[in-house]
Structure 1
Amino acid sequence: MSYIETPPNHRFPWYVRLFLANQRRRYGRELEPARLWARSPIVFAALSLLYGALDRKSSPIEPALRTLVTVRVSQINWCAFCVDINSATALKRGLTEVHLESLHCFEESPLFDDRVKAALAYAGAVTYSDRQVDAALMARLKSHFDDEAVIELTALIAFQNLSSKFNSALDVSAQGFCKLPPRFDAW
């Protein structure tokens, strides 16, 4: 149960109702973050468009890596909902439970190649407030990604920080999409 609840009879604009109906078809229920964001319909619409742009098929960042990045950012930000739904997405995108369980020690894990490790290190540097992206990390990243991919990766990380910090601040719970227990890392 989150700190702010949307009353079941809350009247959303028509375009939000369409979006929520699609969630009911896709997930079997409405997602609590969507109901919260939808309380500000214009912001909700903008966020929905941004997410769609970042998760499109033609993105220069492949789906599995996008998902690893979103799970890692969600872990750092202590967002139970985000870890839950993004972990379920990861499993659908061909990643394994072992991949997800190894995210906290990705630098040492043989499961991840240098490209994935660079992206995850970058996600951490952008997400942790006591870290910065330095020239060495950017060089490491650019050895695997062109400028357009770095921009998209940065946008994805920023979006996931927005989403996971919103959900974490409002104490949005996991909705049971993934059977893995959420792992949070405070280091």
Structure 2
Amino acid sequence: MDDDRLYGLLTRMMALSPEGLAGCNALVRSVCARATSLPPLVAQGEPEDDPLLAEFAEQFAVDVSVIGADQRAAFLKAFGDKAFHVATLIFVADFVPRVRAGLTALGFAPVVEPVVWDRDTDPIDLVLNQFVSTVGALRALDPVTTEVIRLRGAGQHDCRLCRSLREGAALDSGRSESLYADIEDYESSVLLDDRHKAALRYVDALIWTPSKIDADVVAGVGAHFTDAEALEITLDVMRNAANKIAVALGADAPRVEEGTERYVLGLDGQPVYG
């Protein structure tokens, strides 16, 4: 996969300023930056004065699992058929700065700033179809590490859908639920190896302390992963964190009521069930 294409998708997300939503977009970019103590994405125009949206975006960035039924209902009522679009813009405002911070900490080139605003592209399509599938198609990492990273994000964001799934290639590598159960308290695990733990420390830094990624976390990634693998981990964390949109909107129902369902990531990066 060409790194320029991956970086280009990040730049395109930064350029999003959909028709009629520029003020909302500017507001959530400012709010998410304050919540994560990271530099905000550039925005077109002045932020709208919308306390309800500001509160929702802040909670989305700080801990999406805490968004309650009343707050969700108020957001859905306020934005109606635009709620999914606005939630996706919040995700971009929340997570692209985290990825930029992670790439900077690991010594990668910076993401190029956009030069024109994109008022036409559907943010849902760009994020959930183009970005998610492009990253899902990466294969520098082994399947088990990819799955361990995914399940850590599922737990941290409390995504019921993500927790109900298990990736088939990782299962075929002989991994068990015992290993996956150790992800919650990975530092004390005897089943997860040093490579997994180094990855999980970096995952946690991007999710919880993106403005302060410790040098030992960076060193651990450098000791156990190639540049291609480190880039994939960083983008995998963002790909997995797209579950925050579903969690925020209450659309993260599990695919099965009991146990887990097997799926595989196709060559196109899309999940194949059954």
Normalising by the smaller structure, the TM-score range is 0.5 to 0.7
Question: Cα offset for 1:45?
Answer: 5.7
Q: 1:129 to 1:167 in 2, by over 3 A?
A: farther
TM-score (norm 1): 0.65
Cα distance in structure 1, aligned partners of 2:193 and 2:171: 18
Cα distance in structure 1, aligned partners of 2:258 and 2:183: 16
- Residues 123-163 of structure 1, C-alpha deviation per residue, up to 9 Å, x if partnerless? 111112587312111011100112222111101101211x2
The answer for the alignment partner of 2:159 in structure 1 is 79
Contact 1:77 1:164 in 2 (8 A): yes
Q: 1:141 aligns with which of 195, 212, 221?
A: 221
Cα distance in structure 2, aligned partners of 1:115 and 1:122: 11
The answer for the alignment partner of 2:267 in structure 1 is none
Instruction: Name the structure where strand makes up a greater proportion of residues.
Output: 2
* Structure 1: gaps of 5 or more residues: 5-39, 181-187
Q: 1:42 to 1:97 in 2, by over 3 A?
A: same
- The one-letter code of the counterpart of 1:73 is G
Identical counterparts, % of pairs: 23
The answer for the alignment partner of 2:114 in structure 1 is none
The answer for the alignment partner of 1:102 in structure 2 is 182
Summarize the alignment of residues 65-76 of structure 1 with structure 2, pairs less than 5 Å apart.
Answer: 65-76=145-156
Contact 1:76 1:128 in 2 (8 A): no
Cα distance in structure 2, aligned partners of 1:130 and 1:41: 27
- The one-letter code of the counterpart of 1:109 is S
- Residues 67-107 of structure 1, C-alpha deviation per residue, up to 9 Å, x if partnerless? 1101111100111111112x355545542111121111111
Q: CA RMSD in A?
A: 2.7
Contact 1:106 1:112 in 2 (8 A): yes
- The one-letter code of the counterpart of 2:244 is K
* Structure 2: gaps of 5 or more residues: 1-71, 77-120, 261-274
Q: 1:174 to 1:145 in 2, by over 3 A?
A: same
Point out the more displaced range, 165-174 or 90-99: 90-99
- The one-letter code of the counterpart of 1:68 is V
Question: Cα offset for 1:52?
Answer: 2.8
- Residues 5-32 of structure 1, C-alpha deviation per residue, up to 9 Å, x if partnerless? xxxxxxxxxxxxxxxxxxxxxxxxxxxx
The answer for the alignment partner of 1:165 in structure 2 is 244
Contact 2:182 2:192 in 1 (8 A): no
Greater relative contact order, per chain length (Cα 8 Å cut-off, separation 6+): 1
- Residues 11-63 of structure 1, C-alpha deviation per residue, up to 9 Å, x if partnerless? xxxxxxxxxxxxxxxxxxxxxxxxxxxxx96623652232333233x621111
Contact 1:69 1:123 in 2 (8 A): yes
Cα distance in structure 2, aligned partners of 1:139 and 1:41: 38
**What SS is found at the alignment partner of 1:179?**
coil
Check if 1:151 corresponds to 2:151: no
Check if 1:48 corresponds to 2:135: no
